[in-house]
Amino acid sequence: MNEQIRISPVRLIGPEGEQLGIVPTAQALEKAREAGLDLVEMVADERPPVCKILDYGKMRFANSQKGKKAGKVRQQKVKELRVRPKTGKHDVDTKINQARKFLEHNDKVQVTVLFRGREMQHQQEGRRVLDSILEKLADTGKVERPPTMDGKKMTALIMPNKAAVKAKPKPKPSPTVTAEKSVVGTTPKPGDDAVGAIEDGGGVGDAKRRR
């Protein structure tokens, strides 16, 4: 950088990325000073080397920020779910929900069916359980490695389906409260007893009897 650049001439790039051609290193340094910036060697292996006029402090800060972001990238993991050929439907559904969460977090899922004793003679039952799990996870994952037997276990590997979008439940509309209109009778005037009785649910005969 700056006076540490010993080779001359250099291929110079301006602060806006413009190509300034091949110039003596002293002239490139002078241009950098005039701009209040630094002369930084970008590609040292080329002849002449490529140098750019820029703010070295800003470049270091930007590179450090990129490094921090790269360090925050979450590493993909392989989560394992274990079931048995006789695992109940409720427990299988629970495993499926766990697997779906792993896939939505960009992790792979290995589903393992464990066989014990005489269960090895009924591998089709384990395959049935495994196939049902793969089928129910097809919306969030796809099979990377199909079911295979490995000793006393059958395994399959599922990878996240990038095209699948996690559906968010839409908020339920708030119920509309409809006010019930009640018929409010006015205070009856003298001679209006019959009308008031009808509005209150009484009949004409009742009104006559009250008279």
**How many residues are recorded in the chain?**
211
Is it the case that residue 207 has pLDDT exceeding 50? Answer: no
**Of 10-24, 56-70, 167-181, highest mean pLDDT:** 10-24
What percent of the chain clears pLDDT 90, i.e. is strictly above it? Answer: 50
What pLDDT is attached to residue 22? 93
Burial class of residue 86 in the structure, from the number of CB atoms within 10 Å of its CB (0-12 exposed, 13-18 middle, 19+ buried): exposed
pLDDT in tens, 185-201: 444 455 544 444 334 44
Q: Give the pLDDT confidence of 31-82 residue by residue, as tens digits.
A: 999 999 999 999 888 888 999 999 988 888 888 887 766 666 668 889 999 9
Kindly indicate the confidence band of residue 168, based on its pLDDT and cuts at 50, 70 and 90.
very low
DSSP 3-state assignment of 3?
helix
Tens of pLDDT, residue by residue over 114-137, are: 999 888 888 999 999 999 999 999
Strands (E), the chain: 10-13, 19-23, 38-43, 50-54, 78-83, 108-114, 141-150, 153-160
Taking the chain, what is the end-to-end CA distance rounded to the nearest angstrom?
115
How confident is the model at residue 127, as a pLDDT? 93
**pLDDT 10s digits, 91-109:** 999 999 999 999 999 999 9
Q: What is the pLDDT of residue 75?
A: 80
**pLDDT value, residue 85:** 92
Q: What pLDDT, on the 0 to 100 scale, is given for residue 72?
A: 61
Which domains are present in the chain? 2-56 (3.10.20.80), 78-160 (3.30.110.10)
